Amino acid sequence: MNDREIVVEDLVKTYSGKVTAVKGVSFKVDAGKIFGFLGPNGAGKSTTIKILTTLALPTSGWGRVGGFDIVSQATDVRRVAGVALQDIGIDPLMKSMELLVLQGRLFGANKSEATTRASELLELVQLSDAADRRVGTYSGGMRRRLDLALALVHQPKVLFLDEPTTGLDPVSRRDVWREVRRLNREMGITIFLTTQYLEEADELADTVAIIVDGKIATEGTPANLKSALGEESINLVFETPEIAEKGRLSLEQVGDRIQLDRDTVRLYLSKAAGSIPMVINQLQQVGVSPISLTLTQPTLDDVFLQVTGQRLVASETAKPKSPRSNRRAEVN
Amino acid sequence: MDTQINTLSVEQPRKTSTLSLPVHIYLLVVRSLTTLLRTPEALLPPLAISIFFLVIYQSTLGKASSFIPGIGGSYLGFILPLSIVSGSLSVSGIAAQNLVRDIERGYFDKLLLTPVRRAALLLAPILAGAVILGIQSTIVVSVGLLLGLKPTTGFLGLLVVIGLGVLLGLGFAGFTVSAALGSGSAAATQGASFLFFPLTFLAPTFVPLALLSGWLAVAAKLNPITYVLEAMRSLLNTGWDAQAIGTSILACLLLAVAMYALAAFALSVRTRRS
C-alpha cells in the first residue's frame, strides 16, 4: 500500500542561497491517514507543501508521494496527488462545470467521461445547483468546495489541502470537514492537511506535526501530544490584579507551574480537580478568595503554545478554553 | 449529500498520448475564448478605436490625399491597412492580459499541476487572440466596404489582407505573451504592449515609403509593419503583387519566430521549478 504513502526524508529548502525555509524535515504519512501539519506563519508549511506537490524543488533531501519521487517523477506525482492550495486560484469568469470538465480532459478523460465525472463531483460537494453560474458569484465556502472537487477530478490517492477552511464561517467549515472525513474513510485517500486552526487538526488528523522555524518540533497523535505536553490547569480570577498577585504568592509551591495574567492566576498541575480543596484552603489562609474558578483540560492549543512559544493568530473560532493573552507567560 | 462517492465512474486516467498537444491546445483555446467573450469590455474599445480612426482619417485626409503622390488608388485603400495593423497590436495586448490574469489569480499554477503540455499554455492564449483578431479585422474591413472601399483584388484579396493582419498579430502576441510570462504582472504587460505602438509610426504610415527619407526611411525598412502595410495596400489599391505579399509573409514569419523563441524562453523560466 505504499502507493498511498507520503515519505519525506531530511528535506531542506534554501531560497537564493540565503534564507533557509525548511531545515531538514522528515516524516511519514501512512496510507489512508490524515496528517495535520501545523505551524506559525513563515515556519515552512507552504514551502513544504509546494515541494511535495512538485511546484518547487528541494535544495536537498528527498520525498516520495504515492511511491513516486517528487523530483524525478513529478509527472507521476501529479497523477496520484490531488492538490487544493490556498493561493491557487480558480478563474472567476468560468463556470464550475466548465472548470471541472476542462480539468478532467487535461487529465486524459474524453468529453463524456469528463462531463459525467464533473456532475458527480458537483453533486458530491453540493454545487449542482450552481454548476452554470460563474465562479465569481460564489461565496467563499462554495469556492472551497469547488476547489476540493477540482482536486478530486482525477481520483487521486493522496490529497494535499493547504488551509482548506481559512476564512470560512463555522457552518461551511463543518461542511468541508465532513467532506474531508468522508473522502478519507470511504475512499481511503491519504490526506495531508495544513491548517491554522488547532481545532481542525484535533478534529480531523490521525497524526499531527508542528513545524517551527523550518524544523518539526513535535509529532504524534493529538491525544498523545495533549497528554504529554498539555497540562490541566486551575484558573482563578480575582477582583483586582493586586489580589491576584497575593493569591499567586500563596500558591507558588502548589503546582508544577503558575502564571499570572492581570487578574487571572493559572495553576498548572496534574489531577487538577482533586487539588481544588487544597487550593481553596491555601487562598483562605492568606485571606483572598477568587470570583471564579475553572478547570482547563489540555488542548492542542496548549501543545502548540508550549512547542512554538506562541499562539496561532487565526484561531478566533477555537473554543476559548484557555485564556487569551499569554504573551507575558513563561512557557516552559 | 447521500451520493455514493465510492461508485464514481471513470476508471483511472490514461497515460498522456502523443496526440495530447493538439487536444490540449484546443481545450485551452476554447477556454481562453470563453473568458475573452465574457469580458466584452476589454474587446470592444480596441475595435471601436480602429473603426473611429478609419472614419476620421478617411474624412479628414481623404480629400487631401490627391496631394500625396504614390498612393496609387483610393485613400481608403491606403489607410485601412493601418487600422488593421493597429488592431493586431491591441488584440495581442488583450491576449497577453488574459494570460496575466491567469498567472495573477493562480489558475496558471493550477494548470501546471495537471499533465497539460507546457507548449499549450503558451500557444492557447496566442491562438485565441488570433481568432479574436480575425473577427475584428473582418469587422474593420466590412466598415471599409461600407465607406466605399473597392478592393482591386476583390474578395480573395480582402481575405489575404485579413490573413496578413492575423499573421502579424501572432508575432506581436508572441512578444506580449513573453512579457506576461516573464513579469507575471498586468502593468508590465501593458507597458510591453505599448512598446510596439511607436513601430506603427516608424513605417510608411501616412505617406508611401518612397516619400520617407533619412533615419525614418532606414527604420521603416527594418520594420516588419512596413512590408505588411505595403502588401495590404497593393492588394486593396493596385492588384496582386506576389513579391509584396511574399516579402510581408516572410517579415511576419521572421518576427513570429524571434518572438516565439523569446516566449518559449519566458515559459521555461516561468514553469521552472526552483
In terms of residues, how long is chain A?
A: 332
Alpha carbons B84 and A204: distance in angstroms, whole number: 60
Phi–psi pair at B29, nearest 5 degrees: -65, -45
Q: What is residue A186's three-state secondary structure? A: helix
* Cβ A163 vs Cβ A94: under 8 Å: no
Query: How do the pLDDT tens digits run along chain B, 274 residues long?
Result: 444 444 343 444 444 455 689 999 999 999 999 999 999 998 898 899 889 988 888 887 777 776 676 666 788 888 899 999 988 988 898 889 999 999 998 899 889 888 888 899 999 999 999 999 999 999 999 999 998 888 989 999 999 999 999 999 999 999 999 999 999 899 999 888 888 888 888 888 888 888 888 888 888 889 999 999 999 999 999 899 999 999 999 999 999 999 999 999 999 988 887 7
CB atoms within 10 A of CB B268: 12
Q: What is residue A212's three-state secondary structure? A: strand
| Minimal Cβ distance to B8: which of A85, A120, A126 | A120
Q: Mean pLDDT across chain B, nearest whole number? A: 86
Instruction: Give yes or no for B114 touching A (CB within 8 A).
Output: yes
* Cβ B137 vs Cβ B92: under 8 Å: no
Amino acid sitting at position B110 = K
ipTM of the complex: 0.84
Alpha carbons B109 and A78: distance in angstroms, whole number: 12
Indicate yes or no: CB of A117 within 8 angstroms of CB of B20.
Answer: no
Interface test with B, best of A49, A106, A110, A125 (most B CBs within 10 A): A106
Q: What is residue B271's three-state secondary structure? A: helix
Minimal CA separation from A4 to chain B, in Å: 15
User: Which residue is associated with the grid cell 498612393?
Assistant: B71
User: For chain A, how big is the Rg over CA atoms in Å?
Assistant: 23
* Cβ A143 vs Cβ A127: under 8 Å: no
Question: How many Å separate Cα A24 from the centre of its chain?
Answer: 20
Q: What is residue B185's three-state secondary structure? A: coil
- DSSP assignment string, A284-301: HHTT---SEEEEE---HH
Q: What is this structure's pTM?
A: 0.79
Question: For residue B2, what pLDDT is reported?
Answer: 40
Q: In chain A, which residues have their Cβ closer than 8 Å to the Cβ of B9?
A: 113, 116-117, 120
DSSP B13: P
* Cβ B217 vs Cβ B206: under 8 Å: no
Using alpha carbons, select from A169, A163, A130, A134 the residue that is nearest to residue A148. Answer: A163
| Minimal Cβ distance to B107: which of A89, A183, A187 | A89
For the packed helices B118-146 and B75-105, what is the interaxial angle rounded to 10 degrees? 150
| Minimal Cβ distance to A186: which of B6, B23, B113 | B6
Touching B: A residues 51-90, CB under 8 Å: 53-57, 74-75, 78-79, 83, 85, 87-90
Nearest residue of B to residue A126, measured between CA atoms: B1
Q: In chain A, which residues have their Cβ closer than 8 Å to the Cβ of B22?
A: none
Q: What are the percentages of helix, strand and coil residues in chain B, rounded to 5?
A: 80, 0, 20
pLDDT at A325 over 70: no
Touching B: A residues 117-156, CB under 8 Å: 117, 120-121, 123-124, 126, 134, 150, 154-155
For B126-171, write each residue's pLDDT tens digit: 999 999 999 999 999 999 999 888 898 999 999 999 999 999 999 9
Alpha carbons B102 and B111: distance in angstroms, whole number: 10
Alpha carbons A41 and A196: distance in angstroms, whole number: 9
Indicate yes or no: CB of A107 within 8 angstroms of CB of B10.
Answer: no
For A235-255, write each residue's pLDDT tens digit: 899 999 999 998 888 888 887
